[in-house]
Amino acid sequence: MSTSSHESASARLLSGVRVLDFGRVLAGPYAARHLSDLGAEVIKIERPVYGDDTRMDPYIYDDGLSAGFMQLNWGKKSLSIDLRHADAKEIIRKLVAEADVVIENFRPGVMTKLGFGYDQLVEINPSLIMCSVSAYGQTGPYAQRPGYGPVAEAAAAVPELSGDPDGAPMPTVLPIADNIASARALAAICAALYHRERTGRGEYIDISLLESAFQMHDMAVQQYLATGGEVQMTRRGIRDVTWVPWGFFAVAGEWICIMAGNDSSWRSLATVMGRDDLLADPRYADYEGRTRERNVIYGAVETWCATQPSAEQAVNALVAASVPAERVNSVAQAVAHPQLEARNMLPRYQHPIVGEVRVMNSGITLRNTASDPRGVAPDLGEHNREILRDILGLDDAEVDRLTETGVVFEHPRLARLRDAGS
């Protein structure tokens, strides 16, 4: 791993690892964000003037600062540099020599055209680990197709299984494919770092949004393959048709989720509902019977839910009997969830421009080392001088020249902040 002053930072699992993050928007940047939380020094490489696309929307905070960018890039350093410029290419090559990991999520071939493909970079740093995230992967007939998460999910039959049985397929609102891809990238990078520690060899990692979305299928694909296509899962609306009862149910103007498909949970649910008759009836005693008689089961649950004074009281009664259940929360209710608060999922930080900011934690809780977000999200080009001076040894005059000639870019806001603080 890189040997420099950044190893002296507070020890975390990935302290001493340096990452060059060429990622844009979500999948690549989020993988790099998690590496930062785990202790890596992450240098975000951004285009001049505009930076990452997520800097531009939504402008939740004053002075054109994006809440989305903060979430995806907390704890990183920003180097804003024009990769088309010869001086910029030389700077990147020198940084690669000092790096452990490179992450990018351009369309396949773009990094090679820039001079930064894996085969080109390993000539500079033979033990480099490089991870590419793309819509369809680096090989295959669709490799050059443009795509985003929802497009990959459509190809992987994800929306086809969402929505009402007689309705249209439903898009996923959350960036599921991107998040799964970022998690797979994180796992592969950590495994490659471990492998390199043992063997000294680097690795090239190829992650696609399509495969990440396709792997989310827990049953549909296997059912199709195992039955030669005779069994094909279809859209089910708000309730499952095989794991009964499992679905969403209306309670006093809200919704709750109940998942009581196994025998033990079903018996507990029937007891809570006061339906000893259902418990005594052999037709509902096992999984297969409840699947056949699902209309009766769902009708019984609907009737009980209609008698409950509130979603909270209904959930409390179910949970007290060990029935898995939760209220279907709004975003506001989820933010205030006591378990997320207890687990410090939304810690508070002081941002130098906007003041107090709450940013999502990684969700990785470690006992012996820290994994919470560090620092703040960088302004565009905020760390140009630090990176060029401290890592590459350039003097201030050379950094000034690179800035004046447009090789590197610093947001004008940074100069104003320095002047105000002087």
d(CA 263, CA 255): 24
Please confirm, yes or no, whether 178 is among the known catalytic residues: yes
- Least Cα distance to 88 among 129, 138, 32, 48 occurs for 48
Which whole-number Å values give the CA distances from 191 to 144, 364, 403, in the listed order?
A: 28, 16, 38
Tell me the C-alpha distance between 184 and 164, whole Å.
31
CA–CA gap between residue 408 and residue 49 (Å, rounded):
10
DSSP state of 11: P
Exactly one of 178, 206, 240, 400 is catalytic; name it. 178
Angle at Cα 406 formed by Cα 404 and Cα 409, nearest 5°?
Answer: 95
Sign of the four-CA dihedral 14, 16, 17, 22: positive
The C-alpha angle 201, 207, 208, rounded to 5 degrees, equals: 165
Q: In three state form, how does the secondary structure of 142-184 look? A: CCCCCCCHHHHHHHCCCHHHCCCCCCCCCCCCCCHHHHHHHHH
Nearest to 133 by CA among 95, 91, 188: 188
Burial code (b: 16+ CB inside 10 Å, e: under 16) for 95-126 equals bbebbbbbbbbbbbebbeebebbbeebbebbe
How many CA atoms, within 13 angstroms, populate the side-chain half-sphere of residue 264? 4
In this structure, what token pair is assigned to residue 199? 């063997």
Which DSSP letter does residue 390 get?
I
**Which tokens go with 404?**
């004046």
What secondary structure, in 3-state letters, does 285-297 show? CCHHHHHHCHHHH
- Which residues are part of the catalytic machinery? 178
